[in-house]
Amino acid sequence: MTQPGLRERKKAATRAALSRAAWTMLLADGLESVTPESVSAAADMAPRTFRYHFRNREEAILDELAQQHLALADRIRERPPAEPIWDSLLAVLPPEVVRICGDRAVFATLLRVIGDDPAMLAQNLTVLEHSRISLARVIAERAGGQHPGTYPNLLAGVAVTAISTAVTHWALDTTGTDLAAVLHDCLQKIREGLS
Amino acid sequence: MTQPGLRERKKAATRAALSRAAWTMLLADGLESVTPESVSAAADMAPRTFRYHFRNREEAILDELAQQHLALADRIRERPPAEPIWDSLLAVLPPEVVRICGDRAVFATLLRVIGDDPAMLAQNLTVLEHSRISLARVIAERAGGQHPGTYPNLLAGVAVTAISTAVTHWALDTTGTDLAAVLHDCLQKIREGLS
DNA sequence: CCGTTTGTTGCCAAATTTGCAAGATTGCCG
DNA sequence: CGGCAATCTTGCAAATTTGGCAACAAACGG
């Protein structure tokens, strides 16, 4: 719980301000309206600052989402070390993913944008991949070197697949299904075998 | 087996020529040397033609790989319609992935480049995602509407995860493991449950 | 209080991307 | 065969994006 220092907090604050401005503009006026110039103007900063923090608009839009994905691994680490990894995943992922995704209609809009724009898709996949890597690390830690082979990468990969699949299904389904239940079901299916 | 027509074949030929030139230059001189100008020069074409076919160098480098990934779904379709989908996956994916990946040292070089360059990583993830989508479609076809929910996406996702995990393990492992065996093992583990 | 590190910003040159149109090649139909 | 339509290839040039550099400001560590 050590404070990261004022400097880092300020940097994170500007990043968050830019990312939120980008996110807000995306929902309000569509992807075309999101540019380094417009976003930095909305956040009351210089365009050069935008490019100091982000490579492009897609990275800015998904930056907060990316950080929350990376925090999933930390939530797993907070679980009892002796707990089986599958129990940790089933306990952490459903509620956390529900919290991250927020409102269904808003998230559906995001997914539609991602589906329509190749650059947005690529950035979203990058976010998921980094999430996968961080999850693989914590799984390997938990296993304690018991599985030096493909197990951590395999398990982290299928977990991310479950998240992505469940979220997509939930967002595009109009019958109002419960995201936590869908994700829990996906994870459980994989755990017990998909035959 | 209908001929695509001379026009499409010529277009595909130029694409392949550009992609192979990009691939060759990557292995010979590294990613920095691969530019639209250098690649089109090596393929004896105009730089503008490169941009007509590809958005950037990363797309060109991985284009052939992407097409072979998309062909995986067709190989699945050629299996007996009554065959359980898991048997089809176990029969098709290991040998086909071995064929696609080719030489281990060469593929290890590619993976290292992908790991070092964010744009290459994003393009590789895009390739895998399109592969996942095409696999999900054929799985849904085979299921014949029996599983209207998350099953096709989930199964296609874990299959791609298995491929990616197995290939990475094989490429970075110096003990000379058999790729087909590793992939078969990954798929089998998922099929029977990862508990 | 001072030296060092680092985030913010403006400026501007270099590199990249894109729209447009002309020429060449192919597909199609009478 | 003849010719119209579609589209691949290419050059050119404008528009946009990217990236380096340096100055200023703020925070860190004595």
Give tens-digit pLDDT for B168-183.
Answer: 999 999 898 999 999 9
Total residues found in chain A within this entry: 195
**B145 three-class SS:** coil
What are the backbone angles phi and psi of residue B35, rounded to the nearest 5°?
-130, 160
Which residue from B minimizes the CA distance to A169? B150
Distance, in Å, from the CA atom of A57 to the CA atom of A34, rounded to the nearest integer, reads 7
Residue B6 scores a pLDDT above 80: no
Of the pLDDT bands very low, low, confident and very high (cuts 50, 70, 90), residue B48 is very high
What are the backbone angles phi and psi of residue A177, rounded to the nearest 5°?
-75, 160
Q: Which residues of A touch B189 (CB under 8 A)?
A: 154
Flag whether residue B41 sits within 8 Å of chain A, measured between CB atoms. Answer: no
Q: Structurally, what CATH architecture does the domain formed by B6-57 represent?
A: Orthogonal Bundle (1.10)
Residue B3 scores a pLDDT above 70: no
| Cβ-nearest to B157 among A126, A164, A185 | A164
Which token pair is B37? 């100008």
**Whole-number pLDDT of residue A176:** 87
Flag whether residue B158 sits within 8 Å of chain A, measured between CB atoms. Answer: yes
Q: Domain boundaries in chain B? A: 6-57, 62-192
The whole-number average pLDDT for the span B42-51 is 97
Residue A3 scores a pLDDT above 70: no
C-alpha distance across the termini of chain B, in Å:
44
The whole-number average pLDDT for the span B7-15 is 93
Tokens 């744009």 correspond to B119
Chain-centroid distance, C-alpha A140: 20
Flag whether residue A35 sits within 8 Å of chain B, measured between CB atoms. Answer: no
**Whole-number pLDDT of residue B144:** 80
**Whole-number pLDDT of residue B2:** 54
Residue B21 scores a pLDDT above 80: yes
Which residue from B minimizes the CA distance to A148? B169
- Nearest CA to B195 out of A178, A147, A148 is that of A147
Query: Which superfamily, per CATH, for A62-192?
Result: Tetracycline Repressor, domain 2 (1.10.357.10)
Residue B147 scores a pLDDT above 60: yes
Interval A30-60: pLDDT, tens: 999 999 999 999 999 999 999 999 999 999 9
* Greatest alpha-carbon span in chain A: 55
**Whole-number pLDDT of residue B189:** 96
Are A182 and B126 in contact (CB < 8 Å)? no
Interval B98-120: pLDDT, tens: 999 999 999 999 999 999 999 99
> Which helix (H) or strand (E) segment is B96 a member of?
helix B85-101
Is the pLDDT higher at B174 or at B90? B90
Q: What is the CA radius of gyration of chain A?
A: 18
**Whole-number pLDDT of residue B5:** 82
- Nearest CA to A126 out of B144, B140, B126, B108 is that of B126
Are B55 and A153 in contact (CB < 8 Å)? no
**Whole-number pLDDT of residue B37:** 96
Interval A104-162: pLDDT, tens: 999 999 999 999 999 999 999 999 999 999 999 999 999 887 777 899 999 999 999 99
Tally of CA atoms within 13 A in the half-sphere of B96 that contains its CB:
18
Average pLDDT, chain B: 95
